[in-house]
């Protein structure tokens, strides 16, 4: 079924009786060409692009709970391509281009909103770093504008220009950055993959990975064994446990990231604003809630909930930067489990086991990567070659020291990225 305004009109006039499931709930088959472990954003988009770009159909996505139930269902919905290191720059640029055609491609309104992102800076040194980043973006063919203090004031007059602890020098503006409706992205990819013949199997936890003579043979699940020629691990939040089934240890630590939404309010914040000195970022959803977050809770955890010191720090940053949001009331807070890698950048690679692939380590930037990640991972799985936009996200870069992509410059301590 194609979605359109006309369709909505027609259904509305006939009692909305014609709607059909967005995806099937098939029984797992005994064998697939490719099994994808993880029905989150990255798993679903990988399946979608395997089908769309490589004509592969005999694919299953195995999801332990419900599709889209991981971090794609609990993030702050920001989409951007403002990285400054080789490896990330071309990858996120690729991803953003896919975002820009996503609605037509999926025939699903994911409400991708290019409302612009402003990264604030507060010193000459930070301006230099912002300039380095902006220049990289431009050289990659993306958009970046360096805003001075007065230009910034025109765009976002409600920031604290008078007595902010770290005064506002300006911002790096990325007009094509923005937000998207996170759940809809998962659903859109799920529907698209399903329409192309991919089996999405929910409530199907993988309990083992079958490996013989260094080659992957399939997986064990709570719904029985499934044979597969290739297996892709895309289970951010649980990457280490899945990899352990294949006898692997990953350079990943799992950490909690909390996020917050306020009650619905009339439009007041038009862009995405990030306040690096306060580890704070905020946007306003189309529904009116202020959606914002900050830094990690900092300790390794799988509890998917955080604690108060981080909550308070995030709110302090908000009050410092924009005291006009003080009366907005926090409605809900939640925590996601982040795959923190030792350089803050993802891993998209083959493993030493033939036919076994890994996609993990998204730190807290996985949402914007969903289209790009699926596209380059599908390319790798289907062709065996690295996609040109993702030649550097290698698993062995830490061992060799070649091509470490450390945007924060914090080194090997996972929680500092």
- Which residues, 99 to 158, sit near another protein by CB under 8 A? 103-104, 107-115, 122-125, 127-136, 138-141, 144-146, 158
Distance CA 187, CA 315 (A): 31
Q: How far is the CB of 323 from another protein (least distance, A)?
A: 4
| Stretch of residues binding another protein (CB under 8 A), selected from 53-61, 212-220, 305-313, 348-356 | 305-313
Complex with another protein: residue 226 or 389, whichever CB lies closer: 389
Question: Please, what is the minimum distance in Å from the beta carbon of residue 214 to another protein?
Answer: 18
Examine residue 352 and tell whether it contacts another protein (CB under 8 A): no
Interface pick for another protein out of 197, 208, 224, 326 (rule CB under 8 A): 326
Q: Does 268 sit near another protein (CB under 8 A)?
A: yes
User: Out of 33, 151, 205, 406, which residue is the one contacting another protein (CB under 8 A)?
Assistant: 406
Q: Is 58 in the site for another protein (CB under 8 A)?
A: no
Count Cβ atoms below 10 Å from residue 367 Cβ, excluding itself: 23
Contact between 203 and 67 under an 8 Å Cβ cutoff? The reply is no
Using an 8 Å Cβ cutoff, are 278 and 320 in contact? yes
CB of 214 closer than 8 Å to CB of 354 = yes
- Residue 404 binds to another protein (criterion: CB under 8 A): yes
Cβ distance to another protein smaller for residue 13 or 55: 13
Give the chain's radius of gyration (CA, Å). 21
Q: Long-range pairs for 375-378 at CB < 8 Å and ≥24 separation? A: 375/45, 375/49, 375/53, 375/94, 375/95, 375/98, 376/91, 376/94, 376/348, 377/42, 377/46, 377/49, 377/232, 377/234, 377/348, 378/46, 378/47, 378/48, 378/49, 378/50, 378/53, 378/54
Least gap, CB of 270 to another protein (angstroms): 9
98 binds another protein (CB under 8 A): no
Nearer to another protein, 263 or 354 (CB): 263
Q: What angle do CA 74, 340, 412 make, to 5 degrees?
A: 160
Residue closer to another protein, measured from CB, 67 or 219 = 67
The answer to whether 264 and 329 have CB atoms below 8 angstroms apart is no
Find the angle CA(326)-CA(330)-CA(335) to the nearest 5 degrees.
130
Say whether residue 307 binds another protein (CB under 8 A): yes
208 or 309, CB closer to another protein? 309
Distance, in Å, from the CA atom of 373 to the CA atom of 120, rounded to the nearest integer, reads 27
Among 75, 262, 274, 351, binds another protein (CB under 8 A): 262
x/- mask, another protein, residues 153-192, rule CB under 8 A, reads -----x-x-xxxxxx-------------x-xx--xx----
Our finding on whether 249 is near another protein (CB under 8 A) is yes
Does residue 300 interact with another protein by CB under 8 A? Answer: yes
Q: Which of residues 366-395 bind another protein (CB under 8 A)?
A: none
Query: Which one, of 414, 400, 408, 268, lies nearest residue 341 by Cα?
Result: 414
Residue number with CB closer to another protein (228 or 250): 250
Neighbours of 20 (CB within 10 A): 7
**Binding footprint of another protein, residue count (CB under 8 A):** 144
Considering the rule CB under 8 A, would residue 90 count as an interface residue with another protein? yes
User: Among residues 312, 313, 265, which one has the least CA distance to residue 291?
Assistant: 265
CB nearer another protein, residue 45 or residue 262: 262
User: Does 25 interact with another protein (rule: CB under 8 A)?
Assistant: yes
- Of the candidate spans 50-58, 299-307, 345-353, 368-376, the one that interacts with another protein by CB under 8 A turns out to be 299-307
Examine residue 324 and tell whether it contacts another protein (CB under 8 A). yes
Nearest approach, Cβ of residue 408 and another protein (Å): 7
Query: Contact between 207 and another protein (CB under 8 A)?
Result: no
Let me know: does 111 contact 184? Beta carbons within 8 Å: yes
Determine the 3-state secondary structure of 8 from DSSP.
helix
Q: Minimum distance between the CB of residue 377 and another protein, rounded to whole angstroms? A: 21
* Nearest C-alpha neighbor of 45 from the set 67, 78, 77, 76: 67
């Amino acid at each position: 079924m194609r979605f359109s305004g006309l369709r909505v009109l027609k259904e509305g006039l006939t009692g909305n009786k014609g709607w059909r499931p967005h995806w099937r709930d098939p029984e797992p088959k005994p064998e697939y060409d490719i099994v994808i472990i993880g029905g989150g954003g990255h798993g679903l988009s990988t399946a979608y692009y395997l089908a769309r770009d490589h004509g592969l159909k005999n694919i299953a996505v195995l999801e332990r709970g419900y599709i889209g139930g991981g971090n794609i269902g609990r993030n702050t919905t920001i989409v951007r391509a403002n990285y400054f290191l080789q490896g990330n720059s071309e990858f996120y640029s690729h991803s953003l281009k896919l975002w820009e055609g996503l609605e037509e491609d999926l025939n699903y309104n994911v409400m991708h909103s290019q409302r612009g992102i402003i990264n604030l800076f507060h010193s000459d040194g930070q301006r230099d770093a912002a300039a380095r980043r902006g220049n990289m973006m431009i050289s990659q063919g993306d958009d970046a504008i360096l805003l001075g203090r007065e230009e910034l004031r025109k765009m976002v007059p409600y920031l604290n220009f008078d007595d902010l602890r770290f005064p506002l020098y300006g911002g790096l503006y990325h007009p094509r950055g923005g937000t998207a409706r996170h759940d809809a992205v998962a659903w859109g990819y799920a529907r698209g993959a399903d329409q192309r013949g991919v089996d999405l199997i929910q409530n199907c936890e993988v309990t083992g990975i079958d490996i013989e003579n260094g080659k992957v043979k399939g997986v064990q699940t709570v719904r029985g064994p499934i044979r597969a020629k290739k297996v892709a691990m895309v289970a951010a939040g649980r990457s280490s446990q899945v990899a352990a089934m294949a006898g692997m240890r990953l350079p990943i630590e799992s950490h909690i990231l909390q996020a917050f939404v306020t009650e619905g309010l009339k439009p007041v914040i038009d862009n995405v604003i990030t306040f690096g000195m306060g580890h704070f970022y905020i946007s306003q959803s189309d529904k009116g809630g202020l959606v914002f977050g900050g830094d990690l809770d900092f300790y390794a955890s799988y509890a998917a909930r955080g604690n108060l010191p981080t909550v308070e720090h995030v709110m302090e940053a908000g009050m410092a930067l924009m005291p006009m949001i003080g009366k907005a009331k926090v409605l809900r807070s939640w925590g996601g489990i982040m795959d923190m890698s030792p350089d803050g950048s993802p891993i998209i690679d083959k493993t030493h086991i033939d036919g076994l692939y890994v996609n993990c380590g998204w730190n807290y930037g996985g949402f914007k990567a969903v289209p790009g990640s699926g596209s380059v991972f599908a390319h790798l799985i289907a062709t065996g070659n690295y996609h040109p936009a993702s030649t550097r996200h290698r698993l062995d870069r830490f061992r060799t020291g070649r091509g470490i992509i450390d945007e924060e410059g914090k080194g090997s301590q996972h929680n500092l990225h």
